[in-house]
Amino acid sequence: MAYTPDAIKTITLSSIRLPLAVPISDAKVFTGRQKPMTEVAMLFAEITTTEGHSGIGFSYSKRGGGPAQYAHAKEIAEAALGEDPNDIAKLYTKLLWAGASVGRSGLATQALAAIDVALYDLKAKRAELPLAKFLGSHRDSVRTYNTSGGFLNASIDEVKERASKSLEDGIGGIKIKVGLPDSAEDLRRVSAVREHIGDAPLMVDANQQWDRATALRMGRTLDELGLVWIEEPLDAYDVEGHARLTRTLDTPIATGEMLSSVAEHRALIDARACDIVQPDAPRVGGITQFMRLLTLADEAGLDIAPHFAMEIHLHLAACYPRETWVEHFDWLDPLFNERLETKDGRMIVPDRPGLGITLSDQARAWTVDTVTIG
């Protein structure tokens, strides 16, 4: 069958405020650098074409930045109108240049990520394939671990209870937050969870709040607990410090979630500043850039564990040549009509075309602003 030309007809952008049931605190709150998180600002892009195809994608911001992402996306989206939606790489470059005065990372990439993801969703749905199959998957399920139950605002008894529930629900590993000003309390919490879950996979995340000396001292102590990884022990941009920890400690080092460009990740990878790269598709510009990162990480022999946004990252992690982890967060569940399945420690790639998600009525109710371009 001959290819039928198609063109982007409309792009609908929506700013959605997702409220959290309780204020969430990680180490950045206890060190006084941030306030507790009460909501997640979501940016959704819904694309339609002249041939009747459609796609949906999203980006997000925790704490500040949501309104700015929405505003930037509104400014650049018109550049995609009339273009062939199949030319995703071309469109990524065009959109990036449309907003180039604010750079090629950070806000600029996070705003266009929602459009980029929507284009992949559209193209995979047009092919009637799940996104993972469309991209070329290596597996139909991915190891998964839970983070949302391990924040520092929860008591250790609450963390243990939630860990048990996660494991009972078929989630394979548990991650808890550390990085408190009192390192002894960190160790008490980690030891308590390790004892509680036995030999189940356990990860810790310091959210960038240790200095180099503390990270080394804590890392050496944590080496005795058989952790899967220590996440963000240092400032996200401290490549040299992360490289030193990676060489010194037995426990693997994981980082990268805060980086918002391929160039920033390349510096991390070239320096072998981690054992596990944690890219975030909405932060680096969408799937176009994420797939570039997968190639770089694979060539360097590194593992990956994408950050947040499991609805997107499950498909992308399934495309990596070696086994990966995907982060289970139930925060976004109210936004979608569908649910991802976990079983025997793994998250199952859905058989629905594209990302396999549709916006719920609740998501529409939480929409604070929307605009259709085209």
Active site amino acids:
177, 307
CA dist., res. 122 & res. 106, Å (int): 25
Cα 298 versus chain centre, distance: 18
Where would I find the H helices in the chain?
Answer: 27-30, 66-76, 88-98, 107-126, 131-135, 156-168, 183-197, 212-222, 239-248, 262-270, 281-284, 287-299, 310-317, 361-365
The long-range contacts involving 261-266, CB below 8 angstroms and separated by at least 24 positions, are 261/104, 261/105, 261/106, 261/109, 261/285, 261/289, 262/289, 262/292, 262/293, 262/296, 263/104, 263/105, 264/105, 264/237, 265/293, 265/296, 266/296
